[in-house]
Amino acid sequence: MVTEFTSIEPATGAILWKGQSGDADAAVADARKAWPTWAALPVTKRIEAVRRYANQIRGQAEELAELISRETGKPIWESRTEVESVVKKIDISVTAYAERTPQRQLSSQPNMRAALRHKPHGVLAVLGPYNFPAHLPNGHIVPALIAGNTVVFKPSEKTPAVGQFLFDAFKKAGLPGGVVNIVQGGPEVGKQLTANDDIDGLLFTGSAQTGVALNRQFANRPNKILALEMGGNNPIIVWDTDDIHSAAVLVVQSAFLSAGQRCSAASRMIVKDELYDRVVKEVKRIADRLIIDEPFSKPAPFMGPVIDNDVADGLTESFLTLMSHGGRPIKHMARPLDDRPFLTPGIIDVTAMEERLDIELFGPILQVIRVADFEEAIAEANNTRYGLSAALVGGTATQYDQFWSNSRAGIVNWNKMTVGASSEAPFGGIGLSGNHRPSAYYAADYCAYPVVSMEAEQTRASIGIGLKDEDRTETETAAEVSGQ
């Protein structure tokens, strides 16, 4: 059923976009029809097509950045970096495709060759998130197209305008009809798309709750590729360091960039007892100075609002829940405007909580845990079902080696933020953070599958053992077998 829905600017409350939900089944049918021709093109032609798309984005970079800021509430400086990532993804994906899925000649017998090639899956569905509404779906779509797949893209219902912009850019780039398809809508449209048996796979970025549901849905469909990039409950350990200010800066950036709406954001700061007072004081001091404002305001804000009022309400409730279960507030989360989803960063000590919440809060809330020794710090870092990102600030090289070896995470950093991973590296985690199909540079791995071939130009074959002589009777052979 077609329904109308709107996109609201979180910073202003103004209506940004109006549209109707789409028909996922029709979009899949269009993608299926276009797939054989697209897959049959030389890879050089497909690369030319996505490069034309990159040129479209490059030529409209400021327009796209402004749209991202209006639809997500991000500061304009941050949206510009997202647009840069969209453009850079094309060259990175071309390199990754050549490196991760090349054609190879393998060693083989004389007069024979063994070949390794890769084939596209077919029609791939892409479900995009709202926090990076251009960069993250782009990171699935471009590698899928290069590999020879066609795509059905459903943007988040919270950022449909950015999704439409990306689709229009593909269209302007001259890609054949049906190669990239968009279907707008909410959860019901998403369910229609994922249930369609004519898709060959699903590339998902979003919450662990939805990812687990998709994993169950695809459990009896092992022929479908499923790549899940989910969230995190990420730790950042602060250990022995003389530079308390830099340590606090890394913590604040990890926890509060994008208003905490990054799957790799630090949710938990684990700090050594002896450093606790100085580190917490400095983290709070910096957090108090953060400018929180509309995307285009001056001076430039560090962070804008969260995506909508429902999310802001949920985060406020989460902070109160932590307090009611034994958390001690260090910096109270505040809601400056009742009708818009601006939040000030919240910092709360949860050391005394008997059972700490193991959920992805996905907002500007930092939980603080004090520990006595390094082994306890690592154990606390791993005290989660998630496993996306982890960082150690301070400590020695030996302690970092210990931390790296024992961390249950797909990204392990030293004296760096938990956020800001390179697109030239794989991105993914374990546990509730993913299903062992890391994206970014490794997206090529799940966009095509390997085919091994043994090949000879002439038909020559013989059986050298186990055959009876042609002039011996069946009775003689049977007698030999029975031992007579």
In whole angstroms, give the CA distance from residue 458 to residue 111: 9
Q: Is 263 one of the catalytic residues?
A: yes
Q: Give the up-direction half-sphere exposure of residue 105: CA atoms within 13 A in the CB hemisphere.
A: 5
Peptide bond into 102 cis (omega under 30): no
Please state the rounded mean pLDDT for residues 431-442: 96
pLDDT score recorded for residue 3: 87
pLDDT tens-place string over residues 76-103? 999 999 999 999 999 999 999 999 999 8
The yes-or-no verdict on residue 65 having pLDDT over 60 is yes
- Can you give the pTM of this predicted structure? 0.94
pLDDT score recorded for residue 478: 60
pLDDT tens-place string over residues 192-219? 999 999 999 999 999 999 999 999 999 9
pLDDT score recorded for residue 476: 61
In whole angstroms, give the CA distance from residue 369 to residue 8: 37
**Residue ranges per structural domain of the chain:** 4-230+434-453, 234-422
pLDDT tens-place string over residues 305-338? 999 999 999 999 999 999 999 999 999 999 999 9
Topology of domain 4-230+434-453, per CATH?
Aldehyde Dehydrogenase; Chain A, domain 1 (3.40.605)
pLDDT tens-place string over residues 8-32? 999 999 999 999 999 999 999 999 9
| Count of C-beta atoms within a 10 Å radius of residue 45 | 10
In whole angstroms, give the CA distance from residue 393 to residue 241: 8
The yes-or-no verdict on residue 2 having pLDDT over 90 is no
Of 78, 82, 157, 263, the active-site residue reads 263
* Angle of the 208-217 helix axis to the 187-195 helix axis, nearest 10: 30
pLDDT score recorded for residue 474: 60
pLDDT score recorded for residue 225: 98
pLDDT tens-place string over residues 442-480? 999 999 999 999 888 888 888 989 998 876 656 665 666
Please state the rounded mean pLDDT for residues 404-413: 98
Please state the rounded mean pLDDT for residues 388-411: 98
Q: CB of 444 within 8 A of CB of 97?
A: yes
In whole angstroms, give the CA distance from residue 359 to residue 143: 31
282 pLDDT tier (thresholds 50, 70, 90): very high
Of 229, 282, 294, 360, the active-site residue reads 229
Q: CB of 171 within 8 A of CB of 165?
A: no
Q: CATH top-level class for 234-422? A: alpha beta
Can you tell me which residue has the tokens 């890769």?
118
Can you tell me which residue has the tokens 């409950």?
233
In whole angstroms, give the CA distance from residue 293 to residue 211: 32
Please state the rounded mean pLDDT for residues 23-47: 98
pLDDT tens-place string over residues 332-387? 999 999 999 999 999 999 999 989 989 999 999 999 999 999 999 999 999 999 99
SS (H, E, C) the chain: CCCEEEEECCCCCCEEEEEECCCHHHHHHHHHHHHHHHHHCCHHHHHHHHHHHHHHHHHCHHHHHHHHHHHHCCCHHHHHHHHHHHHHHHHHHHHHHHHHCCCEEECCCCCCEEEEEEEECCEEEEECCCCCCCHHHHHHHHHHHHHCCEEEEECCCCCHHHHHHHHHHHHHCCCCCCCEEECCCCHHHHHHHHHCCCCCEEEEECCHHHHHHHHHHCCCCCCCEEEEECCCCEEEEECCCCCHHHHHHHHHHHHHHHHHCCCCCEEEEEEEHHHHHHHHHHHHHHHHHCCECCCCCCCCCCECCCCCHHHHHHHHHHHHHHHHCCCEEEECCCCCCCCCCCCCCEEEECCCCCCCCCCCCCCCEEEEEEECCHHHHHHHHCCCCCCCEEEEECCCHHHHHHHHHHCCCCEEEECCCCCCCCCCCEECCCHHHECCCCEECCHHHHHEEEEEEEECCCCCCCCCCCCCCCCCCHHHHHHHHHCC
Q: 205 has which bridge partners?
A: 229
Please state the rounded mean pLDDT for residues 262-277: 98
Structure tokens at 27: 């979009």
pLDDT score recorded for residue 477: 58
Say how many Å lie between the first and final Cα of the chain, rounded: 78
Encoded amino acid at 334, one letter: A
Q: What is the mean pLDDT of the chain?
A: 95
Please state the rounded mean pLDDT for residues 99-123: 88
